[in-house]
Structure 1
Amino acid sequence: MTTSSRFAVAVHILTLLAQADGPVPSSMIAGSVGTNPALIRRLVGALIEAGFVTTTMGSTGGAMLARPATDITLLEVFRSVETTALITLHQSAPNPACMVGREITGALRHVADRAQAAMDATLAEVTIAGMLADVEHAAQRRKR
């Protein structure tokens, strides 16, 4: 059971693009994220499909935001790059002859739905512009 870092990397990419004055090459993005450019290009592809990013070709090309950073919520980003819910239920059916096995899926689904709704509400309140402001504020505090 592993978790994905696609959401964190996508938010990193979008926040980096939000502070850039022009197109940012995948090699520069990869350097900021600390990964290889091929991984960045794949994730940028998903962000293009979602309508968050556009790219230009050539020696001065790269990625840039397709929409204002104030108009991109973290919920939209999460839904565009992650394929699973916050909590997934059993992969195989529990034993219906056992009271816990018979009832656990419904009980857990109720908790999972509440947790997912809480996460969605929190992510919907935060934009890429807000993330950039938080990053800039943290950088200013570090300088002091």
Structure 2
Amino acid sequence: MKSNSQLSDVLHVLLHMAEGDGPATSEALAAAMRTNPVVLRRLMGGLREAGFVASAKGHGGGWVLSCPLERITLRDVHEALGGPAFVSLGFREDRPQCLVAQAVNASLGAAVQEAEALLLKRLGAVTLAALSQDFHHRLAQHRAGAPHRLEEHLHAD
């Protein structure tokens, strides 16, 4: 089963936008995500509805952050993406009358709910500002070992 990296990808894009000096096109952001601009626009739609980003069409247009990084948590971004499940365990449901299946499903279901609640709580405590601060700390450490321009580092991935 392929893992869902949408949250990670969108957080990556949002930090790129925070480091930019103006609107970023769907094409440029999609390249950072290594995806198609149509996919990027679909993902950004939920962020726009949540008030985290805005977009403008035409020459000089593109996506911009419309909310301070301090006000956006990782949980906010996850929910703006539609709140996809973090844990995707399959449950045997072909024989719902089976008492063994009922016991297994109840136990696994409770564990998944607990895990997701804990993860959502943790994501709610981390802001995009904290991610940005971590990036800048890592960049400073990297520059100390091999100095280069910020733009080169941002576009190396």
What band does the TM-score fall into relative to the shorter chain? Answer: 0.7 to 0.9
Unpaired segments ≥5 residues, structure 2: 146-157
Give the deviation of 1:37 after TM superposition.
2.2
**2:52 match:** 52
Work out the CA distance in 2 between the residues paired with 1:27 and 1:86. 28
- SS state at 2:85 partner: coil
Moved more, 116-125 or 35-44: 35-44
Work out the CA distance in 1 between the residues paired with 2:118 and 2:73. 15
* 1:1-144 map, 5 Å: 1-88=1-88, 90=91, 92-94=93-95, 96-97=97-98, 99-143=99-143, 144=145
C-alpha distance after superposition, 1:21-71 (max 9, x if no partner) = 221112221232233322222222222122211012221111011111110
- SS state at 1:100 partner: helix
- SS state at 1:131 partner: helix
Give the deviation of 1:6 after TM superposition.
1.3
The answer on whether the counterparts of 2:72 and 2:128 sit within 8 Å (CA) in structure 1 is yes
C-alpha distance after superposition, 1:102-139 (max 9, x if no partner) = 21121112211210111011101111111111122222
Unpaired segments ≥5 residues, structure 1: none
Quick one: higher RCO (CA 8 Å, sep 6+), 1 or 2? 1
Moved more, 79-88 or 16-25: 79-88
Work out the CA distance in 2 between the residues paired with 1:38 and 1:102. 42
Give the deviation of 1:82 after TM superposition.
4.3
Letter in 1 for 2:91: H
Identify if the C-alpha distance between structure 1 residues 85 and 33 changes in structure 2 by more than 3 Å, giving closer, same or farther: closer
Letter in 2 for 1:128: L
Work out the CA distance in 2 between the residues paired with 1:91 and 1:134. 42
Letter in 2 for 1:115: A
Letter in 2 for 1:92: E
Identify if the C-alpha distance between structure 1 residues 142 and 84 changes in structure 2 by more than 3 Å, giving closer, same or farther: same
Aligned length: 143
What TM-score does the superposition give when structure 2 sets the normalisation length? 0.79
Work out the CA distance in 2 between the residues paired with 1:69 and 1:91. 42
Q: Percent of pairs identical after alignment?
A: 30
What TM-score does the superposition give when structure 1 sets the normalisation length? 0.85
The RMSD of aligned alpha carbons is: 2.0
Give the deviation of 1:81 after TM superposition.
1.2
- SS state at 1:64 partner: strand
